[in-house]
């Protein structure tokens, strides 16, 4: 959180242990100072200070001598990826454990005693999440939600907070925002449940569109996962922008395998929240291991993701239902200096057609995406024209 604050301001919320949040309860706070195993020959392995994945997250403290057979009950490794340390948690069952490379596990002697040491603490404390809120002209808001519970892995999940922070900094530059923007940094699942417990009712009222930002740092093609509503504003904007972006992309339906969209889209909320990713969780072998590291992500890739999300917001800002101010028939564009004076058969009809098309469909019932898709072209092409028409009072936003 402190590092994110170097990029954007964050308002921090602490939710105390024991507080009920919907069906859940905020658990004890887990803190850990050190952890390792001393082998019978005195070698120190699985050092927390070398790689924090070596300890099963939420392990209770332990300091004892165990046999090899006792030890391996508490060891996690991946035989298929012998050089990877897996990422394992045990949030809701009291336990302790170590994670290590399978090659290390194979090298351990079966005789002698091992000293397992975890200097951790599980006691009442709090769950922490941070928000950045950028007010706009409207109370209607756009949400970007990312999680920060295991940032020592790179694509999933350091890339999410980084992209979200830089996106917030970029959006903050536009002082003329129609929408308000909210950026959430919270632990996955329980963090978002706690956030929804306090803010969900307000989101039900004001959320126009939201996105879960995760797995956004590698160079895989864009994957957009729809909200449970399937055709909400977040989905229509994402799919329209991707379609005319020139990029390769994949659209996926909502499914419960995933991240915090599960909470936002749960039946009690059913919020318009989708997720734009690069290579999604579980689709790359390094996922949830120590091999999901800096080699997998890059700043250019994260910059591309920021730019794609920026296009989403650019479209959100102009994608309204417009309504002609005229009582009937098309306007006389010539007297407004908006039409070529002479009907030469060789002028550029395509430009005039786009101009007249926008007016012909400004019926108060079609939004800009629908209007642009009638001509199979990007709604962003209409940005300047909309400014001029609003200024000349040829159209107005429909209520």
CA distances to 143, 175, 229, 277, 315 from 135, rounded to whole Å, are 12, 10, 26, 26, 18
Cβ contacts of residue 143 below 8 Å, gap of 6+?
Answer: 181, 182, 183, 184, 203, 207, 209, 210, 211, 273
Answer yes or no whether residue 24 interacts with a second copy by CB under 8 A. yes
Q: DSSP label at 86?
A: B
* C-alpha dihedral sign at 102, 99, 53, 48: negative
Answer yes or no whether residue 243 interacts with a second copy by CB under 8 A. no
Contacts with a second copy, 299-338, as mask; x by CB under 8 A? ------------------------xx-xxxxxxx-xx---
CA distances to 8, 64, 131, 299, 303 from 166, rounded to whole Å, are 8, 46, 14, 11, 8
Answer yes or no whether residue 269 interacts with a second copy by CB under 8 A. yes
Answer yes or no whether residue 90 interacts with a second copy by CB under 8 A. yes
Answer yes or no whether residue 284 interacts with a second copy by CB under 8 A. no
Q: Which is nearer to a second copy, 90 or 298 (CB)?
A: 90
Shortest reach from residue 5's CB to a second copy, in Å: 28
Q: Which is nearer to a second copy, 2 or 341 (CB)?
A: 341
Helices 383-391 and 349-360, packing angle to 10 deg:
60
For a second copy, the binding residue among 174, 197, 206, 392 (CB under 8 A) is 197
Residue 299 phi, psi dihedral angles, 5° rounding: -65, -40
Q: Which is nearer to a second copy, 56 or 168 (CB)?
A: 56
Answer yes or no whether residue 263 interacts with a second copy by CB under 8 A. yes
CA distance 27 to 260: 18
Shortest reach from residue 328's CB to a second copy, in Å: 4
Shortest reach from residue 303's CB to a second copy, in Å: 30
For a second copy, the binding residue among 1, 14, 22, 202 (CB under 8 A) is 22
Length of the chain: 399
CB 248 within 8 A of CB 242: no
Q: Which is nearer to a second copy, 182 or 226 (CB)?
A: 226
Answer yes or no whether residue 257 interacts with a second copy by CB under 8 A. yes
Give the binding range for a second copy (CB under 8 A) out of 82-90, 104-112, 239-247, 300-308: 82-90
Answer yes or no whether residue 123 interacts with a second copy by CB under 8 A. no
CA distance 117 to 47: 10
For a second copy, the binding residue among 344, 348, 391, 399 (CB under 8 A) is 344
Answer yes or no whether residue 356 interacts with a second copy by CB under 8 A. yes
CB 204 within 8 A of CB 143: no
Answer yes or no whether residue 389 interacts with a second copy by CB under 8 A. no
Shortest reach from residue 316's CB to a second copy, in Å: 24
Shortest reach from residue 192's CB to a second copy, in Å: 8
CA distance 174 to 361: 29
For a second copy, the binding residue among 15, 75, 153, 193 (CB under 8 A) is 193
Q: How many Cα atoms are found within 13 Å in the side-chain-facing hemisphere of 290?
A: 22
Q: Which is nearer to a second copy, 246 or 328 (CB)?
A: 328
For a second copy, the binding residue among 166, 361, 382, 389 (CB under 8 A) is 361
Residue 330 phi, psi dihedral angles, 5° rounding: -80, 155
Shortest reach from residue 197's CB to a second copy, in Å: 7
For a second copy, the binding residue among 54, 76, 177, 278 (CB under 8 A) is 76
DSSP 274-316: EEEESS-TTSSTTTTBTTSSGGG--HHHHHHHHHHHHHHHHHH
Cβ contacts of residue 296 below 8 Å, gap of 6+?
Answer: 154, 155, 217, 218, 284, 286
- Binding region for a second copy (CB under 8 A): 21-24, 56, 76, 78, 86-90, 92-93, 95, 192-193, 196-197, 200, 228, 253, 255-257, 262-263, 265-270, 282, 287-289, 323-324, 326-332, 334-335, 341-346, 349, 353, 356-357, 359-364, 374-375
């Amino acid at each position: 959180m402190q590092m994110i604050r170097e990029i954007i301001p964050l308002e921090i919320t602490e939710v105390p242990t024991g507080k009920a949040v919907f069906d859940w309860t905020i658990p004890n706070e887990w803190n850990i100072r050190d952890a390792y195993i001393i082998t019978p020959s005195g070698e120190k392995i699985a050092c927390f200070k070398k790689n924090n994945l070596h300890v099963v997250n939420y392990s209770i403290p332990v300091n004892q001598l165990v046999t090899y057979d006792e030890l391996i009950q508490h060891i996690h490794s991946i035989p298929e990826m012998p050089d990877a340390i897996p990422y394992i948690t045990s949030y809701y069952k009291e336990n302790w454990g170590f994670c290590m490379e399978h090659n290390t596990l194979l090298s351990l002697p079966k005789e002698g005693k091992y000293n397992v040491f975890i200097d951790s603490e599980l006691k009442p404390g709090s769950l922490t999440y941070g928000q950045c809120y950028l007010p706009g002209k409207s109370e209607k808001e756009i949400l970007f939600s990312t999680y920060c519970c295991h940032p020592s892995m790179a694509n999933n999940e350091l890339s999410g907070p980084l992209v979200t922070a830089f996106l917030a900094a970029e959006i903050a530059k536009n002082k003329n925002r129609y929408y308000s923007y909210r950026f959430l940094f919270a632990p996955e699942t329980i963090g978002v449940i706690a956030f929804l417990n306090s803010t969900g009712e307000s989101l039900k009222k004001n959320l126009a569109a939201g996105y879960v930002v995760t797995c956004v740092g590698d160079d895989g093609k864009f994957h957009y996962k729809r909200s449970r509503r399937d055709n909400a504003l977040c989905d229509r904007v994402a799919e329209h922008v991707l379609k005319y972006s020139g990029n390769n992309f994949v659209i996926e339906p909502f499914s419960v395998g995933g991240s915090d969209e599960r909470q936002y889209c749960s039946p009690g909320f059913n919020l318009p929240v989708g997720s734009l990713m690069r290579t999604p969780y579980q689709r790359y072998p390094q996922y949830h291991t120590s091999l999901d590291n800096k080699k997998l992500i890059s700043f250019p890739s994260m910059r591309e993701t920021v730019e794609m999300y920026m296009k989403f917001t650019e479209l959100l800002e102009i994608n309204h239902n417009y309504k002609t101010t005229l009582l009937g028939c098309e306007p006389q564009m010539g007297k407004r200096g908006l039409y070529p004076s002479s009907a030469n058969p060789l002028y550029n009809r395509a430009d005039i057609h786009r101009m007249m098309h926008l007016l012909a469909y400004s019926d108060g019932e079609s939004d800009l995406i629908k209007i642009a898709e009638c001509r199979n072209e990007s709604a962003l092409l209409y940005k300047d024209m909309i400014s001029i028409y609003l200024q000349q009072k040829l159209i107005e936003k429909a209520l």
